Chains A and B, each alone.
Chain A
Amino acid sequence: METDPRLYVTLPGLPMKNPVMPASGCFAFGREYAELFDLEELGAVAIKGTTGEARIGNPTPRVAETPSGMLNAIGLQNPGAQAVRDEELPFLANYDVPVLANVSGSTPEEYVVVVQTLNDAPNVGAFELNISCPNVKEGGIQFGTDPDAAAALTEAVKRVSTKPVYVKLSPNVTDVTAIARAVEAAGANGLTLINTLLGMRIDAGTGKPVLANEKGGLSGPAVKPIALRMIHDVRQGTKLPIIGMGGVQSAEDVIEFLVAGADVVAVGTANFSNPFVCPTIIRELPEWLDKLDVAHIGALRWQGEKI
């Protein structure tokens, strides 16, 4: 696919030929989608959350549909950092696309181990610290809801990382800007937001929760207004680049996220309803630039007068 130069966006560690990447956890390690389209069409790929050791995840059912959204409680199932480095990242290295490696853990030491293990993978452009997984007791959300803990974790990872570090913020907090400022002060190179919102569904017929884990992370178009509001709030409190996400499913949504203050966007749940959603959005973006009469996609980003 010919790349429109108006779509190039360079973030720390991530030289992207367009501002669209699949979100972590919705794209595994790219193998399945590579059967459907050329991964080089994407701006970047965010890989599935990786922990120090392999994790088997939660019992099924792990997903439930909600109005304009879905709940998931996968539980960070992944093969562990070494297997990701040795078996998954080399596959993605066949494609000219930067990788954002999502790092999860129960303790700061585990995050550090994952980063140390993946540091030398040449196609990992940057790390994304998942301090916001709502689906496991030790999935990092304890770091994502307390500014001091988030800052301490960011510092610990920054000490060992040879790549830029993004911190993925949780929306399950009262003041997301306080966490953003804390991780910025601790040396974060960028922010990712939002992760899923903690939710629940109950089967009226049985009176039992639909998910085996009872609660799960809400995603999809239902969360888009919340994501836009939080990105807009955070944009006013930090200069860090923002990877925005939460219900993106069209080129029009991408424009909304950029105008709210994101630098690029990630697409999550929409990959499930339409596995071609990312390349489709990327193809449609130039028309939007024509329509809005902008010379470069970066010009759309809300600049944040209050910074």
Chain B
Amino acid sequence: MKNESLTVVENKTIAAKTHEMTLSGPLVDAIDQPGTFLHVAVPGEDLVLRRPISIAAVNQGAGTCAIVYKEEGDGTERLARCRAGDQLEVLGPLGNQGFPVEEPLPGDDVLLIGGGVGVPPLYFATCELVKRGVSVSVILGFQTAAAVFYARAFNELPGCDVHVMTDDGSNGRAGTVIDALNERPYAPDWLFSCGPRGMLRAIETNAADSKTHGYVSLEERMGCGIGACFACVCETNDGASYRKICRDGPVFAFKEVVL
């Protein structure tokens, strides 16, 4: 965990209200696990909370990483206005539990399901999996064609089978990621997912009782991002304890926590 000023290398719109920001700085050296995130201070002193943003890709050779965020409020609007050369205070990489990309073996059936801005950490995970020679299937869900991003990037990865679903059928097929999941004839060996909580709940319900090693990446409003403020907690499935999403996650195994 480091806190550094990172330099904005590029900040571009990749879909409706969705932006990809490339950052450079020594902190990038420490990024090695898909699913971890950066806690980004937003320009302007009136916004007191940092924004937790998952890491979409890392290029250690170039010393850069990419984050993807949706413009939803004051903070992300300010991030969207950042230009190449601007500096951003960044704490990270945060999270002690990412996607276990080192575990699937070549030949395993690996499925990744992403919804909306839940897609980026799965891209990072897919890059690491294909680097190890693991073939993956990816289901990407968006509301409509204008919201779709990274579909081509996934397609360009070797051994990556991509299915795009949109609610209105304006890109890929009409339906939800759950529809696509349920069309599969058998349960995958591994299932990594990130997206809205309702989507994750449905995925766990549909796949939890199989042989599948399933993992979900959770989002929550955060305070400190390092486990000190107890803002982003979730209950364990046995109801006996809790986990901090920022510190103990953000990726959890199926049934580890209440979704």
Contacts and interface: CB of A to CB of B under 8 A. Distances in A.
Contacts of A36: 1, 3, 226
A51 to B, nearest CB: 13
Contacts of A274: 3, 41, 89
Contacts of B227: 28, 31-32
B48 interface: yes
Interface in B178-194: none
Given A60-B233, A63-B221, A63-B223, A26 B228 contact: yes
Given A26-B229, A74-B230, A69 B48 contact: yes
Interface in B110-137: none
Given A32-B247, A77-B230, A64 B223 contact: no
Given A70-B223, A221-B45, A273 B230 contact: no
A299 interface: no
A154 to B, nearest CB: 27
A129 to B, nearest CB: 20
A274 B42 CA distance: 11
Question: By DSSP majority rule, is chain B's interface helix, strand, loop, or mixed?
Answer: loop
Contacts of B234: 60
Contacts, number: 98
A25 B224 CA distance: 11
Given A72-B231, A74-B231, A35 B1 contact: yes
Nearest to A56: B242
Nearest to A29: B228
Given A32-B247, A36-B1, A70-B49, A57 B230 contact: yes
Contact of B220 (A56, A61, A220): A61
Contacts of A221: 45-46, 48
22 contacts: A25-B229, A26-B228, A32-B224, A32-B227, A57-B233, A60-B220, A60-B221, A62-B231, A63-B49, A63-B221, A63-B223, A65-B49, A65-B75, A68-B45, A69-B48, A70-B223, A72-B223, A72-B231, A77-B230, A272-B224, A274-B89, A276-B3
Nearest to B73: A65
B222 interface: yes
A56 B221 CA distance: 17
A60 B234 CA distance: 8
A272 B247 contact: no
Interface in A250-279: 269-276
Nearest to A48: B230
B230 A62 contact: yes
Contact of B50 (A28, A31, A272): A272
Contacts of A269: 48
Contact of B233 (A65, A70, A77, A272): A77
A273 B50 contact: yes
A68 B233 contact: no
Interface in B205-259: 220-235, 242, 247
Interface string B66-110: 000000000100000000000001010000000000000000000
B146 interface: no
Contact of B228 (A33, A70, A220): A33
A17 B89 CA distance: 29
A67 interface: yes
Given A67-B46, A68-B46, A275 B224 contact: yes
A27 interface: yes
Given A36-B3, A68-B46, A63 B228 contact: no
Contacts of B233: 57, 60, 62, 77
Nearest to A35: B1
Nearest to A62: B231
Contacts of A62: 221, 223, 230-233
Contacts of B50: 272-273
B234 to A, nearest CB: 7
B15 interface: no
B30 interface: no
Contacts of A69: 48
Interface in B1-38: 1, 3
B109 to A, nearest CB: 34
Contacts of A48: 230
A220 B229 contact: no
